[in-house]
Amino acid sequence: MHDRYLILNYDIFGQRIDASPREIMRILTVRPTQVFLLICAVAFIVLDAFSLAGNVSVIEYLPIWLLAIAGHVLIYIALVLLLGALQNRFSLRRLYLPIMNLIAFLINSQLIMLHAQIYLEPLLASNPVVPTLRDFLQVVIFEALFFSFVFPAAIAELRKPDGGKPADPLPIQRKITIADQSFALEEVLCMRSKSHMVELVTQEGKTVLRARLADLVGQTEACDGVMAHRSYWVARHAIAHLDQSGPTDILEMTNGDKLTVARPRRQDVRNWMAVTRPELVDTTTS
């Protein structure tokens, strides 16, 4: 199964967050995310923003918070996938995660209040469940913590080849297809976006074709290569060295080319290299 598009989002700090639909759907299956959600659940239950603990029993109190957290996460992921699909369809350049977080919060808040009205109305007549701005700010804080510290580790784990070993050599039969032309993936060194064209750099030379870079990258797997810059993708097997000695990281290619890693993508590229090509990473630099 190949991912056909990347979801390109920006977090509350303006940091770019790239992930494929499959990675988004699997984000809940990795340990860093699960541990973080457990911490969130404990924190929200202890904070008790709705002041439920003094009005209902523990048996009634805990499920409300657990359902609230699960509902918010699932609605949030659904929105990311939906808007990511629209982004790919209509070539939208930016999607802002805080906006999706707000929409998820508003939808989930209505579900929480509906649940409380149906099952707990007699007990909460004097203290209705009404989400507030403070509740949303708490959600924003947890979102910022997740994308700053947990998401990079979770994505690195999802992109990690089985057993923590570098991926096997690329199968010869895998190809990049553009219209009626096909290029063996193992021969592609780099793909560069140039206006409405894409330049494919292969072992045989350069070919310029009318296409969208995102569509071509969507035919690859995460371990096949990396988006070192928004305008170019570099194949894993074409990287000879990652130079981290200067103010900007440089990917040195097997054909002698040197490509600058975009500053917002530097840490993502380093994490990706540490997983897929650890032998090329100089661990003495930071």
12's tokens = 């509350």
Confidence (pLDDT) at 88: 63
Question: Closest Cα partner for 216 from 172, 256, 182?
Answer: 182
Q: In b/e form, how buried is each residue of 197-232, taking b as 16+ CB within 10 angstroms? A: ebebbbeeeeeeeebbbbebbbbbbbbbbbbbbbeb
By the 8 A CB rule, do 167 and 278 touch? no
- Tens-digit pLDDT profile for residues 169-216: 444 457 888 878 888 888 999 999 988 899 999 988 899 999 989 889
Confidence (pLDDT) at 128: 54
158's tokens = 């999802």
Q: Which residues pair with residue 229 across a beta bridge? A: 232
Q: Which residues pair with residue 200 across a beta bridge? A: 191, 207
Q: What distance in Å separates the CA atoms of residue 120 and residue 115, rounded to the nearest whole number?
A: 8
Q: Answer whether residue 106 shows pLDDT above 60.
A: yes
Confidence of residue 38 (pLDDT cuts 50, 70, 90): very high
Segment 257-279 shows an average pLDDT of: 88
Confidence (pLDDT) at 101: 92
168's tokens = 């096997």
By the 8 A CB rule, do 278 and 161 touch? no
239's tokens = 């990287």
Comparison of pLDDT for 84 and 137, the residue scoring more: 137
Within a 10 A sphere around the Cβ of 68, how many other Cβ atoms? 22
Confidence (pLDDT) at 170: 45
Confidence (pLDDT) at 6: 61
> pLDDT > 90: what percent of the chain?
35
Instruction: End-to-end CA distance of the chain: give it in Å, rounded.
Output: 35
Residue spans in the chain of domains classed CATH 2.40.50.1020: 175-280
CATH class, range 175-280 = mainly beta
Segment 54-62 shows an average pLDDT of: 68
By the 8 A CB rule, do 150 and 33 touch? yes
CA dihedral sign, ordered 267, 269, 275, 279: negative
pTM of the model: 0.60
Q: What distance in Å separates the CA atoms of residue 34 and residue 154, rounded to the nearest whole number?
A: 10
Comparison of pLDDT for 180 and 7, the residue scoring more: 180
Confidence (pLDDT) at 241: 92
- Tens-digit pLDDT profile for residues 73-103: 999 999 988 887 787 666 666 778 899 999 9
CA distances from 167 to 14, 221, 275, 276, 277 (A): 32, 11, 9, 7, 9
Q: What distance in Å separates the CA atoms of residue 39 and residue 45, rounded to the nearest whole number?
A: 10
Segment 224-230 shows an average pLDDT of: 92
Confidence (pLDDT) at 1: 38
